[in-house]
Structure 1
């Protein structure tokens, strides 16, 4: 057999073994977290659009504040809040317990039918407590559902509470 062909086969085997080792290492040293959002509708004609600019998660019991908050996404996305679960983001995270999510909102727009409605979101952030926390281990996968409550005032203004909770779903 030609030495060049043999060298090519050896290199291909090394690349395949390295790729498999990398996949197995990442699978067993991190957990996967999927984040969804849902909005219980007040009326079927109400549409609320959130433009999200950042999503971070807090790792409980971290030894320093610089490692406690992990950025999940800095991608700007606009989400229509509906009764159906809407996917926000997914991330591979180190094993451990996570207890809070921080979502930065750059804008909120709403309409009822064809009428634009004023929306108030104090501080432009959601500080989300994860009820019971979420635990990730190597190779695990969990999903969180954030339910965003809001109220409509008598003058038609929508108030969205910045204090929201999330729960693990199966």
Structure 2
């Protein structure tokens, strides 16, 4: 009977240690988006990734998110990620269109590369409340098509 209790206690301590270690080495991050008033553009985002300063990429979400650009600040995703400094965010976009006209929009490489403004890295840690605000002001026309610039900036808020 004592061996069984000791075994259960050991398993509980291992599980608690794992989750405690994971919690101390991760932090919350929320990604928001906002657009200047203008065309009503809908993006189907299939993946969001953050780039750590050390060179590795961390997946924030592989969930499909349908987002219509809006002047209202909109939460795209909230998650816990490994602690560290991040300097770039990528949105993988399956498709984009103007909701009113149904016009397709070209996004080179289907990736929107977003750099943090003023070289201010995003810091994620257990005591940080990290937030990213993405702004989409770069929509232009070329040869009768609308093009969303593949290089957009975001503000890291720590």
TM-score, length-normalised on structure 2?
Answer: 0.79
Q: Match of 1:53?
A: 46
Q: Of residues 45, 57, 73 in structure 2, which corresponds to 1:69?
A: 57
Aligned-partner SS, 1:116: coil
CA distance in 2, matches of 1:74, 1:111: 23
1:82 pairs with 2:70 = yes
Judge conservation of contact 1:146–1:166 (CA < 8 Å) in 2: yes
**Tell me, which stretches of 5 or more residues in structure 2 are unaligned?**
none
Q: 1:97 to 1:153 in 2, by over 3 A?
A: same
| CA displacement, residues 103-136 of structure 1 (integer Å, 9 cap, x when unaligned) | 1100001134xx3334222221111112211112
**Tell me, which stretches of 5 or more residues in structure 1 are unaligned?**
63-67
Q: Match of 2:29?
A: 33
1:117 pairs with 2:130 = no
Cα RMSD (Å) of the superposition? 3.0
Query: Post-superposition shift, 1:151?
Result: 3.1
Q: 1:139 to 1:154 in 2, by over 3 A?
A: closer
Aligned residues: 156
84-93 or 30-39, which deviates more: 84-93
Query: Post-superposition shift, 1:28?
Result: 2.4
Judge conservation of contact 1:118–1:156 (CA < 8 Å) in 2: no
Aligned-partner SS, 2:99: strand
CA distance in 1, matches of 2:142, 2:99: 15
Q: Match of 1:148?
A: 136
Query: Post-superposition shift, 1:165?
Result: 0.9
CA distance in 2, matches of 1:117, 1:155: 13
Q: 1:163 to 1:20 in 2, by over 3 A?
A: same
Query: Post-superposition shift, 1:38?
Result: 0.9
Judge conservation of contact 2:138–2:152 (CA < 8 Å) in 1: no
Judge conservation of contact 1:27–1:139 (CA < 8 Å) in 2: no
